[in-house]
């Protein structure tokens, strides 16, 4: 079972594309040394980024040139 569930994640974003882009950007920042804002058992940056999005710790802004 994937945690957090995709059903929970899609309620936090407007599309699956936005979810992928926001997750990738946050995972890159975690790899570069950013502080992880949630407590998880995982050490993987993508899982941590998804958990942060599911808990509402990460938000995004959609612009004409991409996602900030």
Q: Which residue has the higher pLDDT, 27 or 61?
A: 27
Confidence band of 2 (pLDDT split at 50, 70, 90): low
Query: Which tokens go with 9?
Result: 């994640």
Contact 9, 54 (CB under 8 A): yes
- At which residue do the structure tokens 């993508």 appear? 46
- At residue 3, the pLDDT reads 79
Across the chain, what does the average pLDDT equal?
Answer: 89
- At residue 33, the pLDDT reads 94
| Mean local confidence (pLDDT), 12-35 | 93
3-state secondary structure of 66: strand
- Domains of the chain (ranges plus CATH)? 6-67 (3.90.940.10)
| Mean local confidence (pLDDT), 12-40 | 93
Beta bridge partners of 62: 67
């Amino acid at each position: 079972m994937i945690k957090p569930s995709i059903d929970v994640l899609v309620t936090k974003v407007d599309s699956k594309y936005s979810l992928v882009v926001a997750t990738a950007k946050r995972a890159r920042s975690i790899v570069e040394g950013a502080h992880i804002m949630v407590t998880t058992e995982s050490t993987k940056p993508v899982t941590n980024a998804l958990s942060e999005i599911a808990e509402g710790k990460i938000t995004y802004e959609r612009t004409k040139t991409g996602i900030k």
